[in-house]
Amino acid sequence: MGKRPGLLYEALQRLDGLMAIGQSRADAKAQARAQGEHFWSFSDGKMHSYQTRATYQDMVMRFLRWCRTTHGTKRLAEVDQRADELASAYVLLRVQEGYSPWTLATERSALRLFFGSPLLAEQVPLPPRHREAIHRSRQTPGSEEQSSPHFQPEHWQPLLAFLRVTGLRRREVRMLRVAQIQEQPDGGVVLHVQGKGGKVRQVPVLAGQEATVLSLVQGRGEDELVFAHIPSHLDIHAYRRHYAQTLYQELSGLPLPPAAGRLPRGILDEQAILAVSRALGHNRRDVVLTYYLR
């Protein structure tokens, strides 16, 4: 008789069963609304992108190793029976260790999805998330890489110039092919990108920077990757922030909103915010204002 699967192997099997690649999370959300459900945040209990799977899997495995080391659990069924108790103790430990509110919230979301319990560890208060505490993407594009001995910006100038004028995510850049870059009749250039959850969107290149992008694909085959390699020591988010701010000012003709304090009524161009949100692949006003424009 073969050996029974161990704790981590069982967890991987469960994670496999939670994958929903090719299924629309937006459709599931719309269906829930049509059935009268009301929610601030939404989850259909599935993972719709490989990036979400990689992030959640790393967090779940870290938790299960902690359970095995600290509480001696060797089977997933044992953890299931004590899921709320163990998850609460683990999240509390992570709070005490000083992890950021965003990391803590993501870890709790990963555990809730894994155990199918939307109220898991609810009794553990997470520290509040304040915009002023966000450090990721706040630097000037290139400044962080220039201080890293593992990254030489001068070797990657075409890629860095491309990121400044398109704002793509790392995986989107890595998967981009020549045929996805198209020049429009009016001279503008758009990128047809498949983003998180398989959603396809059009990303406008910043006005006046069309040649920066077109020069990268001139004379190349349609199926070629635009960039064969993306360096690991590269702060993609800083370039996305730069792109978002420039696009907002380009579309609105307004200055950026103030970085601190309440926003006065009428100071924002809501249509421009929506356009920037769609270009970034978020479709959420609060995300654009909190992480990109302020």
Tokens encoding 70: 């600290």
Reply yes or no on whether the pLDDT at 198 is more than 80.
no
As a residue count, the chain comes to 294
Q: What average pLDDT does the chain have?
A: 87
Cβ atoms 236, 170 nearer than 8 A: yes
Angle of helix 7-17 relative to helix 50-71, nearest 10 degrees, comes to 150
Tokens 């208060």 label which residue? 125
CATH for the stretch 143-293: 1.10.443
Q: What is the pLDDT of residues 224-265, one digit of tens each?
A: 999 999 888 787 888 999 999 999 999 999 999 988 788 888
CA distance 75 to 10: 8
Q: Please give the Cα distance from 62 to 107 (Å, whole number).
A: 10
pLDDT confidence bin for 1, thresholds 50/70/90: very low
How many whole angstroms separate alpha carbon 109 and alpha carbon 118? 8
Q: Strand 189-194's sheet: what is its strand order? A: 181-183, 189-194, 200-204
Evaluate if residue 148 carries a pLDDT over 70: no
**Pick the residue with more confidence: 141 or 48?**
48
C-alpha R_g of the chain: 22
Q: Is the pLDDT assigned to residue 132 strictly greater than 60?
A: no
Longest alpha-carbon distance in the chain: 71
Burial class (CB in 10 A: 0-12, 13-18, 19+), 150: exposed
Q: For residue 149, name the pLDDT band (cuts at 50, 70, 90).
A: low
The winner for highest mean pLDDT among 17-31, 42-56, 160-174 is 160-174
**What does the block give as tokens for 97?**
């260790």
Query: Is the torsion defined by CA of 63, 22, 183, 185 positive or negative?
Result: negative
Which residues are 181's β-sheet partners?
Answer: 191
**C-alpha to C-alpha distance for 202 and 281, rounded to whole angstroms:** 9
Give the domain ranges of the chain. 7-129, 143-293
The per-residue pLDDT for range 29-51, each reduced to its tens digit, is 677 677 766 544 557 789 988 88
The DSSP result for 123-158, as a single string, is TSPPPPP-GGG--TT-SPTTHHHHT-TT--GGGGHH
pLDDT of residue 146: 47
Q: What percent of the chain has pLDDT over 70?
A: 86
| Whole-prediction pTM | 0.62
Number of H helices, E strands in the chain: 13, 3
Mean pLDDT of 7-25: 90
Do residues 282 and 288 make contact, with C-beta atoms less than 8 angstroms apart?
yes
